Amino acid sequence: MQDNYDKFKAAGAELIAISSDNVAGTKQTVDKEVLKYPVLADKDRETIKAYNVVDPANNRLARASSFILKRDGTVAWVNLDEWNERIPTAKILTELGKL
Amino acid sequence: MKQIKTLFTLALLLLAAFGCGTTDNPVDDRDEIATLTGALQGEVQSIEGVTIQVHLLKDGQLVAHTEAHGSYALNEIEAGNYTLHISANGYQDAELNVTVVAGETVSLDKVTLAALALPDGLELGEGLNIGSKAPAFELPDGNGELHALADYTGNDKKVVLIFYRGGW
């Protein structure tokens, strides 16, 4: 996802990642992957619940998913990943281009 | 010779047993454990087909775990203050501060979990409807620095939000 960060920037979008990890776990992920974009810790899963992406099989985790939010803060596009299959970045970029 | 050795061993054992009984050691080991631990019991509404998880935490660390089937019980818990975290898929979490008292069973008030409000026409875990307002958030990054969604949308930019499963 790191290489793609610049592509999102070029497409006029900010990239934000969220998981149910705590702050320390999130730091590990960021340090390991050397990520430039914000990776946020939703330990209490309040945001994960608000976006209705609690994993139905394990309520302590987020379901892998992507949202595109428009400038006015509304939801423009939603993708729920299939089990263990992350959406290709190219697909998100295509959707961004349509907006 | 072997018989003598056995007798000697027996004598030693007897001495050890009586020795313990006659010293003025005031606390028997078993009594000590019983006085240092206590138990918790409580009740949650039954939800058909939904497992209700009960986690007992001390300073954020998991101490004990059970599932509630209407009622739940946690036994042999060291006396002290804890947080009891009750969660179920599709429901809001409930959290209680509890105190475990040595040698007692503490009965907790019944907890009723509130169902999560789901967007129209969507099931649990299916995200949000297109055109709906993206919920605001403010969350810490790996360095504890807070980021609000408004910091980004207010920037006149589109936002790509990725949720990932995270560690186990």
3-state SS class at A66: strand
- In the predicted structure, residue A79 carries a pLDDT above the cut 80: yes
If one counts the domains in chain A, the total is: 1
- In the predicted structure, residue A33 carries a pLDDT above the cut 70: yes
pLDDT attached to residue B15: 46
Confidence of residue A87 (pLDDT cuts 50, 70, 90): confident
Task: Determine the distance in angstroms separating the CA of A89 from the nearest CA of chain B, rounded to an integer.
Answer: 11
pLDDT attached to residue B14: 45
- In the predicted structure, residue A86 carries a pLDDT above the cut 90: no
CATH number of A70's domain: 3.40.30.10
- Spatial strand order in the sheet of A13-19: A39-41, A13-19, B158-163, A65-69, A75-80
Which domain covers residue A20, as residue numbers?
2-98
pLDDT attached to residue B8: 52
B132 with A75: CB under 8 angstroms?
Answer: yes
pLDDT attached to residue B47: 86
Q: What is the pTM of this model?
A: 0.74
Is ipTM over 0.90?
yes
**Angle (nearest 5°) at CA B22 between B20 and B24:** 90
- Spatial strand order in the sheet of B94-100: B61-68, B52-58, B80-88, B94-100
* Residue A80 burial class via C-beta count within 10 angstroms: exposed 0-12, middle 13-18, buried 19 and up: middle
pLDDT attached to residue B107: 96
Location of structure tokens 């609690």: A54
| Fold (topology level) of B35-107 | Immunoglobulin-like (2.60.40)
Of all residues in chain A, the one with the smallest CA distance to B95 is A44
Tell me which of B15 and A17 has the higher pLDDT. A17
Give mean pLDDT, residues A21-29: 92
Of all residues in chain A, the one with the smallest CA distance to B131 is A75
- In the predicted structure, residue A96 carries a pLDDT above the cut 50: yes
Tell me the residues of chain B between 82 and 141 that have a Cβ less than 8 Å away from chain A: 87-90, 92-93, 116, 118-119, 122-135, 137, 139-141
What is Dmax (Cα atoms) for chain B?
A: 96
pLDDT attached to residue B32: 52
pLDDT attached to residue B2: 52
For residue A97, give the nearest of A1, A10, A22, A11 by alpha carbon: A11
Q: Do B133 and A8 touch (CB under 8 A)?
A: no
Low-confidence ranges of chain B (pLDDT < 50): 10-23, 34, 168
